[in-house]
Every structure is written in structure tokens, then in C-alpha cells.
């Protein structure tokens, strides 16, 4: 009497698609970058700020932000920190190996909503990964925005991620890039100190006309937001990405729920006014 429904694979939102590791690069002992190509040739469309559920079968699934430029494309990039079983297993992936991917999930952010504005990106630590998606989108469509400022902070020079991008951004004449490390080493000639010290070193922005994207650990977010508010930015113009343990990505499992908001669907990108209203956001 048991009936096994022959569900077409695509009908189950819990069933991952197959993707192949096309490129991989170990940034630090803890953080590795991967570029995945979809094996089914159907590609993917995603917005900045969206995330994927990444499967290692037998170990589990973990939500990971996309770090590549948004759009409709055949591949996507993720920077993965080894903090748990799934991410540790992902670190052993070699080029040519396959993973399961579900998504893209989350609200994401359409950069056209802030066209014509000054943009301020503040990325702390691994927060640079989701932030990079926004930054690349802005730089790829540089003409849509006025001043672009990118601030990036890491713990030590050895913790810096996306160093090729950092060099490229520093070279650009059409935007400002500043970075700092909490502690330098003998070779470090750049800024030292927490990321908020960069606010004093950056060119002035037009606060009423600036959108800020502040993405990093909660403690960094709290202090960076204070700086942005002190500069006169509007709460509704400060955006962040909330980290939660999204198990399903489908607004069902409840793990990512903050009050009545499912971060996996209505987030992870929120403006600061919304975060304040949520109370339990940060």
C-alpha cells in the first residue's frame, strides 16, 4: 500500500543541483574560495546578498553567502570559512569534484535602488565575502553611482581575503579603498586599528545621499553603525546582512526566525531601521 511518489527532482525544493568546482583557492588556513559551475547547464540568477545551501552528503548542509557579481550566469563563487563539519569537508574539495547546491535564497538587494547615491561599503573579516557581491555590482556599473568608498578590516595581514581584488580596488581612480588590520606584522605598512578608525580617514560623503553596506561580525556592525549614524546617515540607508542558521532556506524550519521574520526569505539583507524594529536582530 506504500506509494512512493515519483517526484521529479526539480519539484522538491530540498533536492540540490549538482555543481562542479571549477576553481579553488585557499586564502588563509581557515578561508577558501571556490568557483562552482552548474553541471546541468541551466545556470543561475541571483542578486547581491543572496545565499546558497551547500551539501556534503553524509555530513550535512550549510548556508553560505554568494560572493561573486550578481546577475544571470552559469557559475557562482563562495568564500567558505571552515567552522563546522560541512565547511571543513568543503575545504577538502578539489577542482573537478562536485557538490550539491540549493538556492539562491534570501531577499538579496537590487543595487538600482541606490542608483545616483554615494556608496559606502564597510566589510569586516569574512563579511567581505557577501559584501564583495555588492561591491563588484557597483564597480561593474560604476556610472550609476556617485562616490564609492570601500572600507575593509581584518585581524592581521595574514587574514586578508580576496587580496587580488583588494589590489585592484586600491588601483582604481574612480573609487576610494581603505583597509586596516587590528594587528600588523613586520611587513605591514598600512593602517592598523579597528575598522571604525577608517571612518576618519575616508573622504567626506553626502550623508543624506549615501547608502552604506555594513557587513561583518555583530560587534563590528554595532560600532560601524554608530559611526555611520554619527556621520548623519539615515537608518533606512544603512544595510546589513544577518547571519542565522538557515536549515531549509524555505521559510519553514524556523531556525533563522527573528520574531516574525524568516531571515532566509525576508533577509538576510535588512536596513538598520528594520534591524532595530526586530530587536533580536544583532
User: Judged by CB under 8 A, does residue 97 bind another protein?
Assistant: yes
**Would you say 42 or 260 has its CB closer to another protein?**
260
Which window, 6-14, 135-143, 177-185, 226-234, contacts another protein (CB under 8 A)? 6-14
Tell me, what DSSP letter sits at residue 210?
E
Please give the Cα distance from 183 to 191 (Å, whole number): 9
**CB closer to another protein, 15 vs 230:** 15
Indicate whether 193 belongs to the interface with another protein (CB under 8 A): no
Question: Where does this chain touch another protein (CB under 8 A) — which range of 82-90, 161-169, 179-187, 222-230?
Answer: 82-90
d(CA 219, CA 19): 34
DSSP H helical ranges for 142-200: 163-171
Under DSSP, the state recorded for 218 is H
* Interaction between residue 113 and another protein (CB under 8 A): no
The secondary structure of residue 180, as a DSSP letter, is E
CA 63 to chain CA mean position, Å: 11
Q: Rounded to whole angstroms, how far apart are CA atoms 121 and 109?
A: 14
Angle 204-210-215 from CA coordinates, rounded to 5°: 100
Choose the binding region for another protein from 69-77, 85-93, 162-170, 227-235 (rule: CB under 8 A).
85-93
Contacts with another protein by CB under 8 A: the residue count is 51
Binding test (CB under 8 A) with another protein, winner from 23, 74, 98, 155:
98
Task: Classify strands 261-262 and 257-258 as parallel, antiparallel or unpaired.
Answer: antiparallel
Q: Does 107 help bind another protein (rule: CB under 8 A)?
A: no
**Residues within the interface to another protein (CB under 8 A):** 1-5, 7, 9, 11-19, 55-62, 83-85, 87, 89, 97-100, 218, 243-245, 247-248, 250-255, 257-260, 279-280
Amino acid at each position: 500500500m506504500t506509494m512512493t511518489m515519483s517526484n521529479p527532482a526539480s519539484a522538491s525544493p530540498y533536492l540540490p543541483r549538482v555543481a562542479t568546482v571549477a576553481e579553488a583557492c585557499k586564502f588563509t588556513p581557515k578561508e577558501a574560495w571556490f568557483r562552482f559551475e552548474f553541471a546541468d547547464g541551466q545556470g543561475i540568477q541571483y542578486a547581491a546578498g543572496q545565499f546558497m545551501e551547500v551539501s556534503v552528503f553524509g555530513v550535512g548542509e550549510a548556508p553560505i553567502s554568494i560572493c561573486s557579481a550578481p546577475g544571470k550566469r552559469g557559475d557562482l563563487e563562495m568564500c567558505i570559512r571552515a567552522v563546522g563539519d560541512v565547511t571543513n569537508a568543503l575545504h577538502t574539495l578539489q577542482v573537478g569534484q562536485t557538490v550539491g547546491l540549493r538556492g539562491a535564497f534570501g531577499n538579496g538587494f537590487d543595487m538600482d535602488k541606490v542608483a545616483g547615491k554615494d556608496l559606502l561599503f564597510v566589510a569586516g573579516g569574512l563579511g567581505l565575502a557577501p559584501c564583495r557581491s555588492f561591491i563588484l555590482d557597483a564597480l561593474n556599473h560604476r556610472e550609476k553611482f556617485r562616490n564609492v568608498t570601500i572600507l575593509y578590516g581584518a585581524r592581521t595581514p595574514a587574514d586578508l581575503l580576496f587580496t587580488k581584488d583588494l589590489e585592484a580596488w586600491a588601483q582604481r581612480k574612480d573609487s576610494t579603498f581603505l583597509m586596516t588590520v587590528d594587528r600588523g606584522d613586520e611587513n605591514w605598512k598600512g593602517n592598523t586599528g579597528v575598522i571604525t578608525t577608517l571612518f576618519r580617514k575616508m573622504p567626506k560623503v553626502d550623508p543624506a545621499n549615501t547608502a552604506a553596506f555594513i557587513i561583518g561580525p555583530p560587534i563590528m556592525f554595532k560600532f560601524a553603525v554608530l559611526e555611520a549614524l554619527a556621520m548623519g546617515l539615515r537608518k533606512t540607508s544603512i544595510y546589513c546582512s544577518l547571519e542565522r542558521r538557515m536549515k531549509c532556506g524555505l521559510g519553514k524550519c524556523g531556525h533563522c526566525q527573528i520574531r516574525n521574520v524568516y531571515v532566509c526569505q525576508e533577509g538576510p539583507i535588512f536596513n538598520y531601521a528594520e534591524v532595530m524594529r526586530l530587536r533580536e536582530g544583532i
